[in-house]
């Protein structure tokens, strides 16, 4: 075991290999509050990469309803229970990671789902917590709640899939930090399936090898965002590059949301993998649930998000989500517009920070008709 620094835990931790960060790290932000669970992302991935034999139960991208939805079944609660107490002292994690909690002789604390755990990708969909009683009114904070959680491989800085593979078939690309699996080396031992706490490696029984999300690297190499990003109906996703905090840049959109404003947070940081997909946490969800899922910064992030529309930089940055199929490495705000810039600081696209709002009068006297304003 090596000692490596995990900034999401605020401390060093044990990992199978020494720290070796890529030249650039693939990063993404998902704004959970805007996801409508339309599953367009899921289908765009399915039709691109996993439409073949043996891939029937593979969802490199999936969207589940929390708190009762999972894919595969109980993927997170099973591990949360096995991990034991997950305590924080301020910004420092004082519990154990999946590497530190590994049983003797194993590299990771993992578990293996059954075949049937993959049988119901939409289990728990749209199920809310609590009981809706007669006469109940909408109050804040909401007594009943649910939210949609879109998930892909996190292309972790310290991947459990990679560290657990006895064949060294999984590697992190030095040029972009994308985690890929060499199927010519894979012998189908499925240690990666067992080890990945997010359950984002899938075994293909037709080929006898494991497969996983590749972040659409052929598109990334062309400067284009992955399929599930550019097809997202809710425009919840932004792909770019994330730096460690010491190298964070204010003009990098991912760094700005993750490090500068601490608005986008990792999923289950306590697992210890330093995942590189970040989430703007959902509003109207109890703090305790958010802290368990996104770490101790979650309540403050919700507060920042609630004020985001009054903050020109944040409002402008959110307006750039889904505005172009190109990767946005840099951005700036100019007047009433947010501008996406490429690596050479050339303009990719510009969008208004606040879109004009037109309210039509219900009655159109010229045509003598009543119209409904539905948008």
Give contact residues for ligand SF4 (rule: CB under 6 A): 35-41, 63, 150, 153-156, 159-161, 179, 196, 198, 200-201, 212, 232-234, 236, 273
We find the least distance from the C-beta atom of residue 145 to ligand SF4, in angstroms, to be: 17
Contact status, residue 231 vs residue 46, Cβ threshold 8 Å: no
Judged by CB, which is closer to ligand SF4: 83, or 160? 160
Judged by CB, which is closer to ligand SF4: 163, or 341? 163
SS3 at position 83 = helix
What is the rounded distance in angstroms from the CA atom of residue 267 to the CA atom of residue 67?
14
We find the least distance from the C-beta atom of residue 365 to ligand SF4, in angstroms, to be: 39
We find the least distance from the C-beta atom of residue 177 to ligand SF4, in angstroms, to be: 10
Contact status, residue 186 vs residue 212, Cβ threshold 8 Å: no
What is the rounded distance in angstroms from the CA atom of residue 349 to the CA atom of residue 130?
44
Judged by CB, which is closer to ligand SF4: 32, or 339? 32
Contacts of 145 (CB under 8 A, 6+ apart): 128, 129, 130, 284, 285, 286
Residue with tokens 């649910």: 146
The residue number whose beta carbon is nearest to ligand SF4 equals 234
Residue with tokens 């409002």: 315
Judged by CB, which is closer to ligand SF4: 197, or 330? 197
Judged by CB, which is closer to ligand SF4: 201, or 338? 201
We find the least distance from the C-beta atom of residue 236 to ligand SF4, in angstroms, to be: 5
Packed helices 298-306 and 287-294: angle between N→C axes, nearest 10 degrees: 110
We find the least distance from the C-beta atom of residue 179 to ligand SF4, in angstroms, to be: 4
What is the rounded distance in angstroms from the CA atom of residue 344 to the CA atom of residue 340?
11
């Amino acid at each position: 075991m090596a000692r490596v620094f995990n900034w999401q835990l605020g401390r060093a931790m044990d990992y199978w290999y020494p720290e070796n960060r890529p030249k650039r790290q693939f990063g993404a932000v998902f704004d959970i509050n805007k996801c409508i669970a339309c599953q367009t992302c899921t289908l765009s991935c399915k039709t691109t990469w996993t439409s073949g034999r043996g891939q029937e139960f593979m969802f490199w991208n999936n969207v589940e309803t929390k708190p009762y939805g999972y894919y595969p079944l109980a993927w997170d609660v099973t591990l949360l229970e096995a991990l034991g107490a997950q305590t924080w002292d301020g910004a420092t994690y004082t519990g154990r990671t999946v590497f530190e909690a590994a049983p003797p002789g194993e590299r990771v604390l993992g578990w293996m789902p059954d075949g049937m755990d993959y049988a119901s990708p939409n289990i728990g969909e749209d199920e809310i917590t609590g009981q809706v009683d007669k006469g109940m009114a909408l109050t804040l904070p909401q007594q009943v709640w649910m939210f949609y959680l879109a998930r892909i491989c996190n292309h972790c800085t310290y991947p459990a899939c990679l560290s657990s593979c006895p064949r060294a078939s999984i590697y992190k690309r030095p040029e972009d930090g994308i985690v890929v699996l060499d199927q010519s080396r894979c012998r189908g031992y499925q240690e990666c399936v067992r080890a990945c706490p997010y359950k984002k490696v899938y075994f293909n029984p037709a080929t006898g090898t494991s497969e996983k999300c590749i972040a659409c690297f052929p598109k990334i190499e062309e400067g284009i965002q992955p399929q599930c990003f550019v097809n997202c109906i809710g425009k919840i996703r932004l792909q770019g590059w994330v730096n460690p905090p010491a190298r964070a840049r204010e003009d990098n959109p991912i760094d700005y949301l993750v490090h500068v404003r601490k608005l986008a947070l990792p999923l289950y940081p306590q697992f210890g993998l330093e995942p590189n997909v970040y989430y703007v946490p959902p509003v109207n969800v109890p703090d305790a649930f958010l802290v368990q899922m996104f770490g101790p910064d979650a309540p403050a992030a919700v507060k920042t998000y609630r004020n985001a529309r009054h903050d020109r930089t944040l409002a402008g940055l959110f307006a750039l989500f889904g505005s172009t199929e190109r990767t946005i490495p840099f951005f700036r705000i100019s007047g009433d517009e947010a501008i996406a810039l490429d690596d050479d600081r050339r303009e990719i696209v510009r969008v208004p920070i606040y879109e004009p709002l037109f309210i039509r009068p219900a009655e159109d006297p010229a045509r003598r008709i009543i119209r409904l304003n539905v948008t």
